[in-house]
């Protein structure tokens, strides 16, 4: 390892140290990148890259899809377009063993496809679904675990912010990535439903059967409020699949359609819209800071040659594509215990890119594997973000340890789904192939 490669390797350690101290990961990567380029090349080179890269990244047209999809989700939530989503799913699936938990998974999957956010989904259903399940005397671990796990569906089912970030970082078609995540996302939800049904069938005390008489009027009322969300989803995903518009245009159309439907249903308020704009701005700024920091850090790793050194090192010890995928999976699962998904992705992809190219890994397929692994990290201890979102909503009603235990079975279900995605790449690649 030469001097420049040593600087590159040390820079990764310094970034991780800064993150452990609480420095925001995007800022940490940017500071270390500037210092590393200064040491490896010159101060002039560092200043040049520092002035050029932020403008280059923030000016990327594809990134404008992120605020559009965030706005779509926040407007849908604030204007109650997701109202009665859980109730209608409960009416449909209530007859199943653990029907309320299964209803949570299905309604969360639909909500996630509008919000694109695991955290937003977990927060929303912590306040609606969990109280209903606890009232029905469901096991608290099953109730909270189903919400925390169902929140992760938002990253695979399009539109997905993580897919947009991956596509920009790896220069892959975001249309293809969105379509690639659809079947694995639905598969994840189905595996969750199978797990809930089998577990409650074997141990009925976890979820007593809910017997309630629901009138025809109540059914009509519940399903009447659900239709806007599927309409928005079909327009956005259908338009992308048909090639009618790009992901950025789809985000803008989805946001405009959401606002239009909220006005039509008289649930649109200026206060709610202002809150949605504020939350969109906060979310966009956080992601953009990480993206810019990661782009600077990627330049450092490229200039020091560390990525190529790492690729050669891996190639001497791992000789198959499956071996590389499993090694990366182990890395992401460990990092997922301590860092949030966007940071992990942008910290590792610059180093892993030469390895993936060496083993001829299909990047669309790898994107689905990556996103699935990163979302699994949202429910793994000690830092599982979705767990603490649910805990925050529950207060002292459910201990955090019980929520972690409740998600364990769902995490095992995720390993089953992950194994299927790795074993059968066609699950991820079939829809993108149809759209080409």
**pLDDT tens readout for residues 284-340:** 888 888 888 888 887 887 788 776 777 777 777 788 899 999 989 988 888 887 777
Q: What is the mean pLDDT of the chain?
A: 83
Q: Does residue 117 surpass a pLDDT of 90? A: no
pLDDT the model gives residue 365: 96
Domain boundaries, the chain: 3-435
Q: What is the DSSP letter of 280?
A: H
pLDDT at 420: 96
pLDDT, position 215: 65
Tell me the pLDDT band of 165, cut-offs 50, 70 and 90: confident
Distance, in Å, from the CA atom of 200 to the CA atom of 162, rounded to the nearest integer, reads 33
* 213: confidence class by pLDDT, cuts 50, 70, 90: low
* Whole-angstrom distance, CA of residue 173 vs CA of residue 47: 31
Indicate whether 188 pLDDT > 70.
yes
Q: Is 81 helix (H, G, I), strand (E, B) or coil?
A: coil
- Residue count (the chain): 436
% of the chain exceeding 90 in pLDDT: 16
CA angle 264, 262, 128 (to 5 degrees): 135
Least confident of 66-80, 119-133, 305-319: 305-319
pLDDT at 61 over 90: no
Please say if the pLDDT value at position 361 is more than 80.
Answer: yes
Instruction: Identify the band that residue 74 occupies on the pLDDT scale cut at 50, 70 and 90.
Output: confident
Most confident of the ranges 20-34, 97-111, 405-419: 405-419
Q: Which two tokens stand for residue 253?
A: 């159309």
Least confident of 152-166, 214-228, 281-295, 347-361: 214-228
- Give the predicted TM-score (pTM) of the model: 0.83
Is 333 in contact with 378 (CB distance < 8 Å)? no
Is the per-residue pLDDT at 75 higher than 80?
yes
Q: What are phi and psi of 114, to 5 degrees?
A: -90, -35
Model pLDDT, residue 191: 95
> Per-residue pLDDT averaged across 51-66, rounded?
77
Q: Give the pLDDT mean for 135-157.
A: 87
pLDDT at 198: 94
Q: Which of 180-189, 205-214, 394-403 has the highest mean pLDDT?
A: 180-189
Cβ–Cβ < 8 Å for 154, 121: yes
């Amino acid at each position: 390892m030469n001097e420049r490669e040593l600087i590159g390797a040390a820079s990764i350690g310094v970034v991780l140290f800064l993150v452990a101290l609480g420095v925001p990961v995007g800022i940490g990567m940017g500071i270390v990148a500037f210092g590393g380029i200064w040491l490896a090349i010159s101060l002039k080179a560092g200043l040049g890259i520092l002035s050029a890269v932020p403008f280059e990244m923030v000016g990327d047209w594809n990134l404008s899809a992120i605020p559009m999809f965030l706005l779509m989700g926040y407007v849908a939530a604030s204007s109650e377009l997701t109202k009665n989503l859980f109730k209608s799913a409960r009416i449909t699936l209530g007859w199943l063993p653990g029907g309320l938990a299964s209803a949570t998974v299905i309604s969360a999957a639909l909500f996630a496809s509008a919000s694109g956010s695991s955290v937003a989904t977990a927060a929303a259903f912590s306040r609606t679904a969990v109280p209903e399940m606890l009232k029905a005397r469901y096991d608290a671990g099953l109730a909270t675990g189903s919400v925390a796990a169902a929140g992760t569906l938002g990253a695979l089912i399009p539109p997905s912010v993580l897919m947009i970030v991956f596509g920009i970082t790896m220069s892959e078609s975001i249309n293809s990535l969105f379509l690639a995540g659809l079947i694995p996302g639905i598969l994840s939800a189905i595996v969750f439903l199978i797990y809930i049904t089998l577990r409650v069938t074997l141990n009925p005390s976890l979820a007593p059967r809910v017997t309630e008489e629901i009138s025809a009027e109540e059914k009509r009322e519940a399903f009447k409020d659900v239709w806007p969300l599927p309409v928005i989803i079909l327009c956005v995903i259908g338009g992308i699949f048909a090639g009618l518009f790009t992901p950025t245009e789809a985000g803008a159309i989805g946001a405009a359609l959401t606002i239009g439907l909220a006005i039509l249903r008289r649930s649109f308020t200026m206060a709610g819209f202002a809150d949605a704009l504020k939350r969109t701005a906060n979310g966009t700024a956080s992601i953009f800071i990480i993206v810019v920091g990661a782009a600077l850090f990627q330049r450092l790793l490229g200039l020091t040659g560390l990525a190529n050194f790492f690729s050669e090192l891996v190639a001497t010890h791992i000789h198959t594509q499956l071996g590389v995928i499993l090694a990366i999976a182990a890395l992401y699962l460990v990092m997922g215990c301590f860092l949030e998904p966007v940071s992990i992705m942008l910290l590792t992809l610059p180093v892993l890119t030469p390895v993936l190219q060496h083993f001829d890994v299909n990047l669309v397929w790898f994107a689905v594997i990556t996103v699935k692994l990163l979302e699994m990290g949202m429910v793994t201890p000690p830092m599982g973000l979705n767990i603490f979102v649910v805990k925050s909503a529950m207060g002292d009603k459910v201990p955090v340890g019980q929520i972690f235990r409740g998600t364990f079975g769902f995490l095992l279900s995720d390993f089953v789904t992950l194994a299927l995605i790795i074993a059968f790449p066609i699950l991820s690649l079939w829809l993108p192939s149809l759209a080409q």
